[in-house]
Amino acid sequence: MLDWNEVLRMSRDGAPPPPRRVEKTEAEWREQLTPEQFHVTRKAGTERPFSSEMCSLFEPGRYACVCCDEPLFDAMEKFESGTGWPSFTAPLEENVVAYHMDRSLGMTRVETVCSVCDAHLGHIFPDGPAPTGLRYCINAVALKKIRV
């Protein structure tokens, strides 16, 4: 099971190889995505907290990357964090999310990205519930709900 020390190790040494790769030009991403999706996923932006209904959506299913359709999170790992962004305790597989140290905004955090297409998803913090103790704080516009 993934824990905070493993996340820190992967942010330093690299995550496991992704299941596949999707690469597009900036123009192709702009054509595919809404302006907000492009800003968040391709330019590492952040949506306003509490701006998405996805925060309070707790139906069974999975969440995929809005850019490449790779399944990233299961609704069973979703929890109410009170932060204003959808939060999860773990990804579906260890190789679908990659981790990078983020020293922007005068602080040190760990950024989460889709390992398949490098889309910025959000950040991960060591203050989540058991059993992982992790909180994947993810921008709702970076995800889309899929049925399984």
Tell me the catalytic residues: 137
Rounded CA gap, 102 and 119, in Å?
A: 15
Long-range CB contact pairs, 61-64, < 8 A, 24+? 61/145, 61/146, 61/147, 61/148, 62/92, 62/145, 62/146, 62/147, 62/148, 63/88, 63/138, 63/143, 63/144, 63/145, 63/146, 64/143, 64/144, 64/146
**Token pair in block for residue 77:** 């790992």
d(CA 110, CA 7): 8
